[in-house]
Amino acid sequence: MQIAIVLFERFTALDAVGPYEMLSGLPDARTVFVAERTGPVRADTGFLAITADRTLADVPRPDIVVVPGGPGQHGQMENEPLLDWLRTADATSTWTTSVCTGSLLLAAAGLLKGRRASSHWLALDQLARFDAEPTGERVVFDGKYVTAAGVSAGIDMALTLVGRIAGDDHARTVQLASEYDPQPPYDAGAPQKAPVHLVEKLRSRSRFILR
Amino acid sequence: MQIAIVLFERFTALDAVGPYEMLSGLPDARTVFVAERTGPVRADTGFLAITADRTLADVPRPDIVVVPGGPGQHGQMENEPLLDWLRTADATSTWTTSVCTGSLLLAAAGLLKGRRASSHWLALDQLARFDAEPTGERVVFDGKYVTAAGVSAGIDMALTLVGRIAGDDHARTVQLASEYDPQPPYDAGAPQKAPVHLVEKLRSRSRFILR
């Protein structure tokens, strides 16, 4: 089973690496990081680069497509070579997935029309522009399209997908091996739960980040 | 504030990228991935490489040291240049931290003697060989030493550390920005919670992996 994870400049690293860690636990998984060009692709902080081992053209028919998000998503919204690749890969994929604002790239490629989808909470309302139906859920399945909320939600999305593909016991084994028994020291991981002044602070910052 | 994350061949990617994503949200964070040589360092699956932007020698005095684990940890246990760097960096660090079997490298460098520490549940008992006291906790603070359990526990460790350094509201903002509101689809992330046959399966496999 081939899993293609798409990279572009200024992606958010955990969006990509969370699903990578879970999905690579699938039986016979062959995960490959792809980008327009091979070589290091730098994440949004500037502090981390992951190697794209193959170009998009090298990997035309992955079984699973994973599109991360991040501040760099905006710059890809009219990148036709990437959007074309998404449409082509989607034509034969078993699962087409995204994390965070990666769903906006799937939407821009025309793949989420009429579908329920998730995204980072700060970007959720942008899905409607592309005739997708935003939901507040952390992981949304609509047919073969699986979209996750922001950043860390990709872990939950991918572990759920491992269960669908390889069964509950296999997914539990992946969970146990990665000791995924989360114990966040705070309970502020969603806008409904966080203090209002912090939600507002991020909302005002996002006018600059998410454009 | 300089944060050095150590890479070595066959590290586990989420061990490193979980803390990276949280700690890079610290005010004035300058995160740097370091290894014996600069260039791509490949993770345990073979599917992912992160670039080491600096050598160990380039970064002698980080404020925070993060040591991930993974199957490659075993091969580093007698790597004197790495252990020497850990001792030197630790001499001036504010925080010395690890995720998963990274604590065994701190222990091998002699830094955890007489200290309470955590590690991947499959490797926990190995800490005692180095006069550290293994605990079953997910995140263990003992003075400036902070050790996390397996793989995904690095996210909880790092978010807790962000709170200690920059305050609760800053940590909550980092949590909200990364939408860290975990909703695992299963409850098998710790050996006490997972079905016994899966715990035993991983235990028998680990004889081959963790040596």
CATH number for the domain harbouring residue A78: 3.40.50.880
Amino acid A207: pLDDT = 64
Subunit contact A151:B179, Cβ cutoff 8 A: yes
Measured CA to CA, the distance from residue A11 to residue A101 in angstroms comes to 10
- pTM, whole model, 2 decimals? 0.96
Please state, in angstroms and as integers, the Cα–Cα distance from residue B156 to each residue in A186, B23, B137, following that order: 10, 11, 11
Best residue of B45, B48, B50, B198 to probe chain A, by most A CBs closer than 10 Å? B48
Q: What is the mean pLDDT of residues B165-190?
A: 97
Element (H, E) at B42: strand B39-42
- Nearest CB to B184; choose among A31, A159, A195: A159
How high is the mean pLDDT of chain B?
Answer: 96
Nearest CA in chain B to A21: B14
Least reliable range by pLDDT among A25-29, B8-12, B35-39:
A25-29
Question: Does A192 fall in a domain?
Answer: no
Task: Assess contact for B119 and B126: CB atoms under 8 A.
Answer: yes
CA distance linking residue A112 with residue A128, whole number of Å = 10
The crossing angle, in degrees rounded to 10, of helices B168-177 and B153-166 is 140
Other Cβ atoms less than 10 A from the Cβ of B174: the count is: 24
The pLDDT-based confidence of A136 (bands split at 50, 70, 90) is confident
Q: How many residues does chain A have?
A: 211
Q: Is residue A194 part of a domain?
A: no
Q: How far is CA A171 from the centre of its chain?
A: 19
Q: How far is B54 from A136, CA to CA, in rounded Å?
A: 41
pLDDT of residue A211: 42
Distance of CA B86 to the CA centre of its chain: 13
Whether residue A88 lies inside any domain: the answer is yes
CB-nearest to B49 from A50, A177, A199 is: A50
Q: Is the pLDDT of residue A120 over 60?
A: yes
Q: In this structure, are residues B82 and B9 in contact, taking their beta carbons and an 8 Å threshold?
A: no
Q: What is the structure's pLDDT at B208?
A: 54
Separation of alpha carbons A30 and B173, rounded Å: 35
Domain, as residue range, for B130 = 2-209
pLDDT of residue A98: 98
CB-based contact B22:B159 (threshold 8 Å): yes
Comparing alpha-carbon positions, the chain A residue that sits nearest to B30 is: A47
Q: Read off the pLDDT of residues A165-205 as tens digits, 9 standing for 90 and up.
A: 999 999 999 999 999 999 999 999 999 999 999 999 999 98
Banded pLDDT at B211 (limits 50, 70, 90): very low
- The beta-carbon neighbor of A33 closest among B24, B48, B179 is B48
Mean pLDDT of B66-89: 97
Kindly determine whether residue A21 and residue B149, on different chains, have CB atoms separated by under 8 Å. Answer: no
Cβ of A49 within 8 Å of Cβ of B50? The answer is: yes
A41 in any annotated domain: yes
- B14 neighbourhood in chain A, CB within 8 Å: 17-18, 20-21, 178
pLDDT digits (tens, 9 = 90+) for A9-44: 999 999 999 999 999 999 999 999 999 999 999 999
Question: From CA B104, how far away is CA B110, in angstroms rounded?
Answer: 10
Smallest Cα–Cα separation from A177: which of B5, B129, B24, B69?
B69
Among residues A100, A109, A171, A174, which one is catalytic?
Answer: A100
CB contact under 8 A, A30 and B47: yes
**Percent of chain B residues topping a pLDDT of 90:** 95
Query: Is A151 a residue of the active site?
Result: no
Output B209 or B121, whichever has higher pLDDT. B121
pLDDT-based confidence at residue B80 (cuts at 50, 70, 90): very high
Decide: residue B192, CB within 10 A, 0-12 exposed, 13-18 middle, 19+ buried.
exposed
> pLDDT tens across B195-207, in order?
999 999 999 987 6
How many domains does chain A contain in total? 1
What is the bridge-based pairing of β-strands A139-142 and A145-148? antiparallel
Nearest to A48 among B33, B179, B189 (CB): B33
Note whether B189 contacts A202, CB cutoff 8 Å: no
